[in-house]
Amino acid sequence: MKKINVGVIGMGYIGESHIEALRRIGICNLVAIADTNYELALSKAELYGIEKVYKTVDEILNDDSIDVIHNCTPNFLHKEINEKIIRSGKHLLSEKPLTTTYAEAQELIKLKNEHPGVEACVNFNYRMNPVVQEMRSRIKNGELGDVRIITGQYQQDWLMFDTDYSWRLEPEVAGNSCCVADIGSHWMDIIQHITGHKITSVMGDLVTVIPVRKKPVNQNETFRDSVEGDYIETEVKNEEYAAVMFKTDKGATGVFHVSELAPGHGCYFGFEINGSKESYGWNQEQNDRMWVGRRGGDNSVIIRNPNTISPEAKPYTNLAMGHPEGWNDAFKGNIYAFYKYIADGCKGERVFSTLEDAAYIVRLTEAIVESSKTKQWVNI
Ligand SMILES: NC(=O)c1ccc[n+]([C@@H]2O[C@H](COP(=O)([O-])OP(=O)(O)OC[C@H]3O[C@@H](n4cnc5c(N)ncnc54)[C@H](O)[C@@H]3O)[C@@H](O)[C@H]2O)c1
């Protein structure tokens, strides 16, 4: 079988995770990377033994041997680079958020529809945790009953000091939201994916807790501790904390909060779904297990077991029970889902996030920002 040839643009924090995942998927072959920071790209190429290194997006797109391009650049470049990838006729795997505005996301969908040979996926990687897929399957089968209430959070601590800085705080680079667009997007995607509900009404409160930060003169890598050195005192416009109440199209209600100021949390991403028969709970920091809550019966904690897991979740788990799988495995599972879909001739269910799914998340993010400004509920 001919392998699917891949190129990755953007060799920062997440670009490296894409390389590692691609290297674990047998049906694809990573042939090239590109970054405007050419020194960085060269060092990653040497570390991972990658054949070709390009300086620009145009150079990598002109490589006719490549079938799929991953876009791992900062948010404001997603529209422009995704557009170029679609026009080139190569398949697209874009990092989230799809774009910084809903209008841009709609333009991308229109363009993709004009190129029917192009497939596209947006990297909402938590979807393909096997336990998440297990919960989705059980909800589809009616085991939880009607979904009534959905609550949860996504907390990190990497912006807790005024010496921490990221492009995610700058509207020109990240869009008009920091933590809702960055991590709230994952939360909303996973909830909609698992329950089959769509969030259709939001009431948000976005807070910039540290209004002035020390921005390093030299680029700081994402999630790295702050470094001593020259800095410029910079006014912060985007939020590092948000609380959101919401309602769904099928009558459920819920609330979540996201924070990048929660000491001790790296990726505390979790939720609880209360149904008319049972509750399910999941927490990314112990992502190999799910909690099942019952009234009038024993609660239980189910540990991922490939021998008993549902057929829908089975393709995304490999290790035997008691051998914990984790963040990297779910990440690989999501990218694998996209390549398997392409290898199968683009037939069947798109389990990964499509451009339409991801555009809706951008729309929700905009609605939450608007609601926080107007102090009103916003209906979508
Ligand atoms: N799915 C996830 O869990 C996850 C996690 C982290 C980041 N992300 C997303 O990935 C994207 C990148 O985030 P990051 O933290 O890796 O950022 P980063 O700043 O660490 O890396 C971005 C890289 O893009 C390069 N770049 C910038 N402009 C370029 C251009 N025109 N052509 C080629 N390369 C260019 C930069 O030199 C840098 O190396 C963001 O959209 C972010 O939301 C997703």
Overall CATH class of domain 4-125: alpha beta
Average model confidence (pLDDT) across the chain: 96
Q: Is the dihedral of CA 302, 303, 308, 309 positive or negative?
A: positive
Residue 221 has pLDDT above 80, yes or no: no
**Residue 95 in contact with ligand 1 by CB distance below 6 A:** yes
**Residue 208 in contact with ligand 1 by CB distance below 6 A:** no
| Mean pLDDT (whole number) for 339-364 | 97
pLDDT tens figures, 241-291: 999 999 999 999 999 999 999 999 999 999 999 999 999 999 999 999 999
Q: What type of residue is 115?
A: H
pLDDT tens figures, 361-379: 999 999 999 999 999 999 9
Tell how far the Cα of 148 is from the centroid of ligand 1, in angstroms: 37
| Mean pLDDT (whole number) for 203-216 | 97
pLDDT tens figures, 29-57: 999 999 999 999 999 999 999 999 999 99
Q: What is the CA radius of gyration of the chain?
A: 21
Residue 224 has pLDDT above 80, yes or no: no
- What does the pLDDT read at residue 264? 96
- What does the pLDDT read at residue 2? 86
pLDDT tens figures, 64-112: 999 999 999 999 999 999 999 999 999 999 999 999 999 999 999 999 9
Distances (CA, A) of 233 to 88, 162, 223, 283: 42, 10, 20, 36
Q: List the one residue out of 279, 321, 326, 285 whose CA is nearest residue 303.
A: 321
**Residue 184 in contact with ligand 1 by CB distance below 6 A:** no
**Residue 222 in contact with ligand 1 by CB distance below 6 A:** yes
Q: What are phi and psi of 230, to 5 degrees?
A: -75, 140
- Shortest-distance atom of ligand 1 to CA 41: 39
- What does the pLDDT read at residue 9? 98
Q: Which CATH number among 3.50.50.60, 3.30.360.10, 3.30.450.20, 3.40.50.720 corresponds to the domain 128-318+353-374?
A: 3.30.360.10
Confidence class of residue 346 from pLDDT cuts 50, 70 and 90? very high
Q: List the one residue out of 339, 374, 364, 362 whose CA is nearest residue 119.
A: 339
**Residue 163 in contact with ligand 1 by CB distance below 6 A:** no
> What are the boundaries of each domain within the chain?
4-125, 128-318+353-374
**Residue 236 in contact with ligand 1 by CB distance below 6 A:** no
- What does the pLDDT read at residue 72? 98
Q: Is the dihedral of CA 163, 166, 169, 172 positive or negative?
A: positive
- What does the pLDDT read at residue 222? 66
Tell how far the Cα of 290 is from the centroid of ligand 1, in angstroms: 31
* DSSP run (H or E) holding 162: none
